[in-house]
A and B are shown apart, each in its own frame.
Chain A
Amino acid sequence: MSEGPGVPGGRRSGRGWRIAALLPGFALLRAGRRRAGLSLMALAFAMLVVLVFAGDRVLATFTAGRLDGWIAFLTLALTLAAVWWLTARWQPGAGVGESGASQWTIAWREFERNRTAMLGLYLMVALYLVTLLAPYLTSYEPNVIAEDILAARHLPPSPDHLMGTDKYGRDVYTRILYGARISLSIGFIAVGISVTLGTLVGAVSGYFGGIVDTVLMRLVDTLISFPRLVLLITVIALFEPSITVVVVVLGLTLWPSTARIVRGEVLSLREREFIEAAHALGLSAPRIILRHVVPNVMGPVIVAATLGLGNIILIEAGLSFLGLSAPPPTPSWGNIITDGREYLVDAWWVSTFPGLVIVFTVVAFNLIGDGLRDALDPRLRV
């Protein structure tokens, strides 16, 4: 139904279409994108089954009262909401060659054609499934120390313990699964903070120019000119290390690069006629910035955010390694590596596996970021 002559009438309005949109993937199916639609529906169905049959267990893992549980919950909820929002808004008319294709639709088509980027996307989806389904992928607990430590510690990889055990007899595989929650959450939330802040500062700076621009950009210069790791260590050292502190500090120190990118974009955007037209139509400056400037710089911002995610996961691992991130029992990937540091020769698996996972994650985000850059770069196919 590439032309879709049968449906045009009530395709965008009408209750039937709205109800259909509630069902994830249905809109995709209607648009003729069978594979994507079916897999999304299957995913939704699987999640429903899990919730119905093991809802209390899922809830228990999230409401354990631990901070990281909440962070994980928040991130997951946001991601799911985003998936739902995207698919529900997927206009059936947005197929190839039809009208109503936004810049995002066009960019997605471009992205989809990029195999390595899609590989990265699949890896990321897999990671997310892992964080979601962690309790069902292992029968061990991440933080429970074995009763008989001497017998259980440093067991090499085996069918019982896929990635061996660490010095307290904890299953490394389990810890990596749960660690994905921590590391990804830290990454997403810190990127969220830094991107929001960076975009706002950059947009205001570029839009108003003059003295505002000078002051903000000199602040950015100052922040960028500090050696990043030293700055992080200093700030974190002032507080008790915890996930919250790490997230906030990472978020608050990494925004200047985004601000710079955004400012550069806004400077060129400001000269475009639709911004002048917006003025001539009586829109106020805050409205123009938020509704007309910011959405137009989202392309480079998203690319920066995706690449930043990998970066932040790396930095967090580094901080954990230095003991400046989440306190020890928390299974962040950096922490797991640290646990195996002293035993690299005798028990290589403790540090190697989380290291590999970090490599894969960062590569995945970088692939996605590169793909996005290609898809969004000729930004204006006017």
Chain B
Amino acid sequence: MSRHVLQVENLRTFFHTREGLVRAVDGVSFSLGPGETLGIVGESGCGKSITCLSILRLIDAPGRIEPESRILLGDRNLLGASEAEMRGIRGNEISMIFQEPMTSLNPVYTIGQQIAEVVRLHRGVSKGEARARAVEMLRLVGIANPKQRLGDYPHEFSGGMRQRAMIAMALACEPDVLLADEPTTALDVTIQAEILDLLAMLRDRLGMAMIFVSHDLGVVAQIADRVTVMYAGQVVEAGPCEDVFASPLHPYTEGLLRSIPRVTRRLPRLATVPGSVPSPKRWPVGCRFHPRCPYVWPRCVNEPPRLAGERRASRCWLEEEPQRRSAEGSGPPTGERD
């Protein structure tokens, strides 16, 4: 097994608000090998984005990363690094791209100025060199006429081009890890595909590892090597991409997969996972998924399951009592029942 580039152990990010403790991320662990892509999927509010921001330590006050968490970049524990060290790591060793390409570029500077700023900040090169690097990066992310487009302002770029420019900024210093937080969600489907291809190409070319956050399983299936499914601030299932999608272990993953519309099959109504993500202020006791789970039995309400398994892991009592899966009867129930 190769060494890990990034290792997150028992990450717990809590928000200590006046209304109470919000356990947004509650004991998340995963690791990332060099050149590997980890997909993180889950519904809105399950803690995907907070996990990414925690890795960069961009959690603002009332939020706090609890002391027993560990985030290892190589051998360094990022939670012990000073703020100045973190600034040297952000954008340089770990970069992040965001969901909204429309607003993640500063409207008052040209694209070139914004890329060059990052390069100058981390590499300390001259203006001319930074500019040259900006041209190179724009070319790399597939922007035609990079020299001319350098002087353009963000409003002169289309959404897809802005996301490309954002990627150029994030990768200008060739980071080891890229955190992509729903980078394609706000884009048209065709542009989504282009951006995915671009990210895969850049990942291979620059040899970086990537964490790809999305609620779109199809997108994750395309790009990720391994998948981590998150629910209610916890990892509920993890494993190689194909295995998870082919034979999901956790009922939540099952539900997610069933709710993908398929062109080939005509269903009377699209299946859903009943209910919605519970409030992070009061996660359900026992298994956090139990109020929405089709297989629920008393044990689920009383005891929280552990994340069991090595290569493939699932946080579900079904792992210990697999007979219950079939005992329920005629296959997995559809989400339409109430």
Contact B107 A103 (CB under 8 A): yes
Complex: chain B residue closest to A299, CB-CB: B108
**Contact assessment for B104 and A273 in the assembled complex, using a CB-CB cutoff below 8 Å:** yes
- Interface flags for B158-173 (1: CB within 8 Å of A; 0: not) read 0000000010011000
Residue in B89, B122, B149, B170 whose beta carbon sits within 8 Å of that of A99 in the complex: B149
Q: Is A327 an interface residue (CB 8 A)?
A: no
* Chain A residue with the shortest CB-CB distance to B153: A102
Is there contact, CB below 8 Å, between B106 and A274?
yes
Whether B73 sits at the interface, judged by CB under 8 Å, is: no
Report whether A295 and B108 are in contact in the complex, using a CB–CB cutoff of 8 Å: yes
Could you tell me the distance between the alpha carbons of A138 and B66 in the complex, rounded to whole angstroms?
Answer: 76
Asked whether, in the complex, the Cβ of B108 is within 8 Å of the Cβ of A103, the reply is: yes
Name the distance in Å between A187's Cβ and chain B's nearest Cβ.
27
Chain B interface (Cβ < 8 Å from any Cβ of A): 56, 58, 61, 86-92, 95-100, 102-110, 117-118, 121-122, 148-149, 151-156, 166, 169-170
**Chain A residues engaging chain B, CB cutoff 8 angstroms:** 8, 12, 91, 93, 99-103, 210, 272-274, 276-284, 291-292, 295-296, 298, 380-382
Which residues on A sit within 8 Å (CB–CB) of B100? 273
B154 near A284 with CB under 8 A, answer no
Question: Is A280 touching B151 in the complex (CB atoms < 8 A)?
Answer: no
Residues in B with CB closer than 8 Å to A93 are: 151
Number of A-B contacts (CB under 8 A): 95
| Residues of chain B contacted by A272 (CB below 8 angstroms) | 103
B152 touches A100 (CB 8 A): yes
Q: In the complex, are the beta carbons of A284 and B87 less than 8 A apart?
A: yes
- Which of A91, A282, A291 is the one whose CB lies under 8 Å from B151? A91
Complex contact A282–B89 (CB within 8 A): yes
Is the beta-carbon distance between B148 and A277 smaller than 8 angstroms? Answer: no
Q: Is the CB of B149 within 8 A of A277?
A: no
Show 15 residue pairs from A and B whose CB-CB distance is below 8 angstroms, ordered by the A residue: A91-B151, A99-B151, A99-B156, A103-B107, A210-B61, A277-B104, A279-B58, A282-B88, A282-B91, A283-B121, A295-B106, A296-B107, A298-B108, A380-B107, A382-B154
- Contact A277-B87, Cβ < 8 Å, known A100-B151, A295-B108, A382-B107: no
Closest chain A residue to B100, Cβ basis: A273
List the 8 closest A-B pairs by CB distance, nearest first: A281-B91, A282-B90, A282-B91, A273-B104, A280-B96, A100-B151, A295-B108, A273-B103
Residue of B nearest to A104 (CB): B108
Cα separation A381 to B99 with both chains bound (whole Å): 19
Distance in angstroms between the alpha carbons of A296 and B108 in the assembled complex: 7
Taking CB atoms, residues of chain B closer than 8 Å to A291 are: 117
A282 vs B95: C-alpha distance in the bound complex, in angstroms?
9
Min CB gap A275→B, angstroms: 8
Shortest distance between the CB of A115 and any CB in chain B (Å): 26
A140 to B305, CA, bound (A): 96
Known: A99-B152, A101-B153. 10 other contacts (CB 8 A): A100-B153, A280-B91, A281-B91, A282-B86, A282-B91, A282-B121, A283-B87, A295-B109, A296-B106, A298-B108
Residue of B nearest to A296 (CB): B108
Alpha-carbon separation in the docked complex, A292 to B88 (Å): 19
User: Which residues of the other chain, B, contact A276 by a CB distance below 8 angstroms?
Assistant: 58, 98, 104
With CB as the reference atom, state the residue of chain B lying closest to A283.
Answer: B121
A280 touches B90 (CB 8 A): yes
Of A102, A274, A381, the residue contacting B104 (CB under 8 A) is A274
Q: Which of chain B's residues have a CB closer than 8 A to the CB of A281?
A: 90-91, 95, 118, 121, 169-170
Q: In the complex, are the beta carbons of B107 and A280 less than 8 A apart?
A: no
With a cutoff of 8 Å between Cβ atoms, the chain A residues found around residue B117 in the complex are: 283, 291
